[in-house]
Structure 1
């Protein structure tokens, strides 16, 4: 089958116009993941037996269950217990939950790279635990995690394509609607891939720039 350039060029602006939905969902899930990841990290540090057991169970579920299943669970199962969520909200929460677990692992790894003496020095200066975390540890954890966090964002962005199964009108669902009319799935999906790659390249470059800025700021 020959490549139809006109079908590709026709689909590209239509998909680009809807790309903000996929991007906004990924960004919202990223924010939820950041907040949830920090919370899970702090709860893990407390080492309370019951909390540790619950966090371990949550980690096992998220790591062991496909993201698509979690999305379908949030949209179709939660209403059975009274939580009626829109497709966008259900999908964003599912992605945010997955991201929170992965980010807690990222932050945990970054925490181990920070010399323990910094915590002891903060305590010696009279800083309370909250102050040590907010002023000493968390800024360094975020700085050390920039690269993995950029990778996590690209994963989230690509995962938004799964939300088309719960009727979210994102780029993937729009692409399905387009090639259902023009019968050119290859060119249409190629346009989708082009946009995803472009956004991820921009995100990676911004991440590299941010990493460079933080390195210079530490000198």
Structure 2
């Protein structure tokens, strides 16, 4: 079967609006993941054995299981426990939890390379721990780990395509619908791949510009 250039081009008008769904889900999930990763990072520094042990088990579970399984657990498992979620809600929560685990690992690595001087000075002045985190540690840490955070966002964008399996109508699901009606799966899927690639490329370029701006300010 020859490649149909017309079918390839016709797919984009439907795929581009669907990409907004992927982007919206990714941004919401990233926001929740950043909050979750920050909370986990702070809790891991408390030194409470039971708490850090439980977080360690959670990290091992999330990192050791496919994200697709986690999506299914949220979508099919939580209703069994009495918590009904829409496909988008289940998908956002699953991706956010998965990403928060990777973000807390990124933050832990960033903390290990930070200059302890400002923190030690704040402690010596009697500044409260909460203020040290919000005014001293986190602002520096977020800037320091900006590049891996951008990479994590692009990973999340790619992960949103998995939500097609729980009926979320995003780029991949839309491409499948196009393929089912046109009987041209190659053209539809290739167009979907290009749309997602362009979306991640734009995010990466934006991240580099932000990183360059912060580097210029520090300089």
Q: For the superposition of Structure 1 and Structure 2, which TM-score range results when normalised by the shorter chain?
A: over 0.9
Matched, 1:12 2:3: no
SS in 2 for 1:173: helix
In structure 2, distance between residues paired with 1:201 and 1:46 = 38
Give the equivalent residue in structure 2 for 1:131: 131
Matched, 1:152 2:152: yes
State the 4+ residue runs in structure 1 displaced beyond 3 angstroms.
none
The 5-angstrom pairing of residues 58-97 of structure 1 reads 58-97=58-97
SS in 2 for 1:85: coil
In structure 1, distance between residues paired with 2:127 and 2:49 = 27
The 5-angstrom pairing of residues 42-121 of structure 1 reads 42-121=42-121
For 1:83-137, what per-residue CA distance to the aligned partner results, in whole angstroms no more than 9, with x for missing partners?
Answer: 1111000010000000100000011111111122221111223322111111111
In structure 2, distance between residues paired with 1:33 and 1:111 = 18
Q: Gapped runs of 5+ residues in structure 1?
A: none
In structure 1, distance between residues paired with 2:123 and 2:94 = 38
TM-score (ref. length: structure 2): 0.98
Aligned length: 219
SS in 2 for 1:46: coil
The 5-angstrom pairing of residues 191-206 of structure 1 reads 191-206=191-206
In structure 1, distance between residues paired with 2:11 and 2:144 = 39
For 1:133-188, what per-residue CA distance to the aligned partner results, in whole angstroms no more than 9, with x for missing partners?
Answer: 11111011100111101110111000111111111111111111100011111110
For 1:40-86, what per-residue CA distance to the aligned partner results, in whole angstroms no more than 9, with x for missing partners?
Answer: 00000102111111101110110011000000010001111111111
TM-score (ref. length: structure 1): 0.98
Q: CA RMSD in A?
A: 0.9
In structure 2, distance between residues paired with 1:209 and 1:159 = 24
In structure 1, distance between residues paired with 2:4 and 2:67 = 34
In structure 2, distance between residues paired with 1:63 and 1:47 = 22
CA shift for structure 1 position 25 = 0.5
SS in 1 for 2:45: helix
Give the equivalent residue in structure 2 for 1:35: 35
In structure 2, distance between residues paired with 1:178 and 1:55 = 43
SS in 2 for 1:122: helix
Give the equivalent residue in structure 2 for 1:207: 207
Q: Gapped runs of 5+ residues in structure 2?
A: none
In structure 1, distance between residues paired with 2:43 and 2:143 = 21
